[in-house]
A and B are shown apart, each in its own frame.
Chain A
Amino acid sequence: DAGVIQSPRHEVTEMGQEVTLRCKPISGHDYLFWYRQTMMRGLELLIYFNNNVPIDDSGMPEDRFSAKMPNASFSTLKIQPSEPRDSAVYFCASSPPTGGPDTQYFGPGTRLTVL
């Protein structure tokens, strides 16, 4: 398996633009997580899905952020409009069905820079 795939790996955009980050989880995993990592705030859970349904979005910073999971193999995190304070590394992770250790497998991340 290729692991969790994220695209793009790097994104540079200007304030006010729409940004879409993409994630393909590991096949057979039914949990998908979006995290944001910054020096100041560390690793923050933004939202997670189970069987394509959002379960907890309490970490989403504000209405400018939205996430979707239209099918089991694809998820997007959208920021509209983007702001400089959104600059961070965004990670997607997936996890197999509950029944043992809740191990999460992380993608390589998307480094977002908003100018």
Chain B
Amino acid sequence: GEDVEQSLFLSVREGDSSVINCTYTDSSSTYLYWYKQEPGAGLQLLTYIFSNMDMKQDQRLTVLLNKKDKHLSLRIADTQTGDSAIYFCAESKSNAGNMLTFGGGTRLMVKP
């Protein structure tokens, strides 16, 4: 199967860390991605990780990949109110012509 699954909702307090989780089923995925969608806007790429890596850090963002469990997570350190958005994980495969399979999105709410 090609399902990508995420929890629907996450609420955190400003300054705390947020962890958004994603599971996927296709072990042939070559890259995995995190996109952010702010209200009224399109999806914006946040970061991606190649499938032979297990971690990638980019400023406040840390991506962890557990290929054995087909589990991807996005950690946002020192979460700010501006981080409130919907976060989508996505996977791509080497023979799928740039096609991505997206999860349903996790709505992150950051309370002041």
Residues of chain A touching chain B, judged by Cβ–Cβ distance below 8 Å, are 4, 31, 33, 42-43, 45, 48, 50, 55-56, 91, 93, 95, 98, 101-109
Establish whether residues B99 and A98, one from each chain, have CB atoms under 8 Å apart when the complex forms: no
Give the contacting residue for A103; candidates B33, B42, B97, B99; CB below 8 A. Answer: B33
List residues of chain A with CB within 8 A of the CB of B105. Answer: 42-43
Size category of the B interface is 20 to 34
Query: From residue B37, how far is it (CB to closest CB) to chain A in Å?
Result: 8
List residues of chain A with CB within 8 A of the CB of B77. Answer: none
Q: Bound state CA distance, A45 and B99, in angstroms?
A: 9
Q: Bound state CA distance, A98 and B105, in angstroms?
A: 25
Residues of chain B touching chain A, judged by Cβ–Cβ distance below 8 Å, are 31, 33, 35, 40-45, 48, 50, 88, 92, 96-100, 102, 104-105
Query: From residue B101, how far is it (CB to closest CB) to chain A in Å?
Result: 8
Establish whether residues A91 and B43, one from each chain, have CB atoms under 8 Å apart when the complex forms: yes
Query: From residue B43, how far is it (CB to closest CB) to chain A in Å?
Result: 5
Given contacts A43-B88, A43-B105, A103-B33, contact A91 B42 (CB under 8 A): yes
Query: From residue B112, how far is it (CB to closest CB) to chain A in Å?
Result: 26
Which chain B residue shows the least CB distance to A95?
B98
List residues of chain B with CB within 8 A of the CB of A105. Answer: 45
What does DSSP make chain A's interface, helix, strand, loop or mixed?
strand
Query: From residue A115, how far is it (CB to closest CB) to chain B in Å?
Result: 21
List residues of chain A with CB within 8 A of the CB of B43. Answer: 43, 91, 93, 104, 106
Which chain B residue shows the least CB distance to A99?
B98
Establish whether residues A106 and B44, one from each chain, have CB atoms under 8 Å apart when the complex forms: yes
Query: From residue A36, how far is it (CB to closest CB) to chain B in Å?
Result: 12
Which 6 A-B pairs give the minimum distances between C-beta atoms?
A106-B42, A102-B98, A102-B92, A95-B98, A106-B43, A31-B98
